[in-house]
Structure 1
């Protein structure tokens, strides 16, 4: 607020609470200077829900104490915090390699949201199923076969041996052992089997991932694969 808006706010408050009226010209000038110093960064109103007169009226209506600048500043800070908490930074349109422009756009968007001149950007919901897949991405995955290029997958293979073994087995037509729950180490589907380290007291001290699944898990996946291939398809109900 500028000085004229601060003076208008004080005039509005004086109509609702005569205790704030200053009849002496010097006291009125000091009161205006004090309120403007403390509320200079608080806007009079914003396009999205903030009005300083509403905050002042709410205090006068609910509190028996004379209003102070802090009784207006506190609701404004709560308004800012609430808007920033609901804001999810959208991807800037600036070039990501231009760090200064990238961060400037992010900071400018946050300042606009906090100041009430822009609405918070909500995080988009994650869609599931094929309806939410971009057709261009489907075509690209159909050509490549994976979202990870083959050269990158080969470079990562030594660092994730369990996944590499799984991909080799699937490529060779063998059953996917990680598609079933391991009956030995209780690893869930999609998780690698784990090797238990037993202490001197026969208690499990730690577990480490195995590069290969337990034999019982592989047998279970093989049986499940045979069952799926031998089971004839059921006719559709009309």
Structure 2
């Protein structure tokens, strides 16, 4: 703020809280100098929603103590931190081979956002959900994963690949029911349980292929639902 802006802000504060008013010219000059020392880098207002007068008014409504310049500075710094936290650096228009120009544009954008001169640039693809082209692709394919990529991933997730293959072939999903053999819950793969002579378990490995009884149970459940 400039000194004349600080003088106007102090006059506004004095109207709302008469305790802060200074009638002596020397005291008023010292007060303006003190506030300018701390608020020299803080704008009075910006086009992005910051208004020092709103901070003053909120403080007077919420606190029984007279407002100090540090109260305004702290609010401004919190405002700037919040804007930078929501900002994702857009790709500068400068030539990337020109390191100085690239860095200057990047820092200039951050500075403008922190000072309330420019709105933060957010990742709309993350915060706003899929665009129309993504929704059209999902309607056409039924999955966000391309078929070629799905085939490449099958070797690393055999259980899911087996479920997808069963559904594509028109067979019921075995994992939609609980396995009565190994007691695997719905949605979980079957387990190859190995027991010792005393009855304790010594093996509990995941099975890529569900137990036959679970497959039969899923088929029977599907027939019942279809008949109903």
- Which bin holds the TM-score, normalised by the shorter protein? 0.5 to 0.7
Partner of 2:159: 162
In structure 2, distance between residues paired with 1:83 and 1:147 = 32
Partner of 1:210: 207
Question: How far is 1:217 from its partner?
Answer: 1.7
Indicate if the aligned counterparts of 1:84 and 1:113 stay in contact, CA closer than 8 A: yes
In structure 2, distance between residues paired with 1:199 and 1:20 = 88
In structure 2, distance between residues paired with 1:214 and 1:29 = 87
* Alignment equivalent of 2:185, drawn from 164, 184, 187: 187
In structure 1, distance between residues paired with 2:211 and 2:189 = 9
Unmatched tracts of structure 2, length 5 or more: none
In structure 2, distance between residues paired with 1:49 and 1:192 = 54
Question: How far is 1:70 from its partner?
Answer: 1.8
Indicate if the aligned counterparts of 2:88 and 2:121 stay in contact, CA closer than 8 A: no
Indicate if the aligned counterparts of 1:84 and 1:120 stay in contact, CA closer than 8 A: no
Question: How far is 1:152 from its partner?
Answer: 2.3
Report the secondary structure of 2:178's partner residue: coil
Partner of 2:22: 21
Report the secondary structure of 1:115's partner residue: coil
Partner of 2:224: 227
Distance 1:165 1:59, change over 3 A: closer
Question: How far is 1:159 from its partner?
Answer: 0.9
RMSD of the alignment, in Å? Answer: 4.8
Question: How far is 1:53 from its partner?
Answer: 2.1
TM-score where L is the length of structure 1: 0.61
